[in-house]
A = this chain, B = another copy of it.
Amino acid sequence: MKKIVVLGSGNVAGHLCKWIISSGNLLCGIYSRNKIKGKSIADKNNIEYYCSIDEIPKADIYIISVSDNAIKEISEKIIAKDSIVVHTSGGCGINELSPAIENRGVIYPLQTFTSGRELDYNRIPLFIEASNQDSYNSVKVLASDMSNQVFDSDSEKKRKLHISAVFACNFVNHLYSIGSSIIKEMDIPPQIIAPLVEETVNKMVAADNPFMTQTGPAVREDYNTIEKHLEALADTDYPRKIYELLTDSIINYKLNGKL
């Protein structure tokens, strides 16, 4: 069992507190500059809130969970002689942490965190790295308490993970937004498409190779339907361009087996 202090009060920090407690480790408290948010998280988890970084208790691992551009500054203020300091960012390398800290690490959870939403923490993959073997061992023990999915990852790997998340999540959200806006124009509630999206996603994530669960006019090479759709989108700018490019990409993958 490790003694942990969380630094930050955003959505990730809020979930982290609950997560660490449920992992069986000892959460000694939370520090944040934002008193209202910090105290709210502390109260919810029945832990101590610290408004000054000089007052935070001694811990085995300090977890900094703040926006990327604040990691460096906050890490410089932690006195962490025998402790490990980690951050949770996918966008920053381990060297974003102050070089004055000997034992540095990263625990990057591949998930989108929203306050108040329930998550199955055990399933969330954690990508870890550390500045030396002892730190790595400690970080790995903590991460393995937190999740069944722990992987080693340097900054290069994290960048690729981030790119894949942009495709599979950020861009997916945008395409869904376009799809539901087309439905909205017809005075039909856009949520009616939700069961179809949910079933599509359940099928694709269960597939060994999601290219094989591809359906629709592009993979059928149904040029008649594609043409009618492009006619219907003729007055639009991005939707038409996106329809064309993704249709081409699907057909190209089907014919050539590569992206």
Binds B, one of A16-24, A78-86, A137-145, A234-242: A234-242
Asked, given contacts A210-B180, A213-B173, A242-B171, whether A166 binds B249 with beta carbons under 8 Å apart, the answer is no
Task: Kindly identify which residue among B168, B229, B245 contacts A180, using a CB–CB cutoff of 8 Å.
Answer: B168
Task: Kindly identify which residue among B164, B192, B193, B209 contacts A182, using a CB–CB cutoff of 8 Å.
Answer: B164
Binds B, one of A27-35, A38-46, A154-162: A154-162
Binds B, one of A1-9, A49-57, A94-102, A199-207: A199-207
Number of residues on chain A facing chain B (CB within 8 A): 88
Interface-centre pick from A188, A197, A198 (highest chain B CB count, 10 A): A188
Instruction: Please determine whether A160 and B186 come into contact, CB atoms closer than 8 angstroms.
Output: yes
Asked, given contacts A119-B199, A199-B119, A215-B112, whether A241 binds B236 with beta carbons under 8 Å apart, the answer is no
Residues of chain A whose beta carbon lies under 8 Å from any beta carbon of chain B: 91, 110-112, 114, 117, 119-120, 123-125, 149, 151, 157, 159-183, 185-186, 188, 190-205, 209-211, 213-219, 225, 228-229, 232-233, 236-239, 241-243, 245-246, 248-250, 252-253, 259
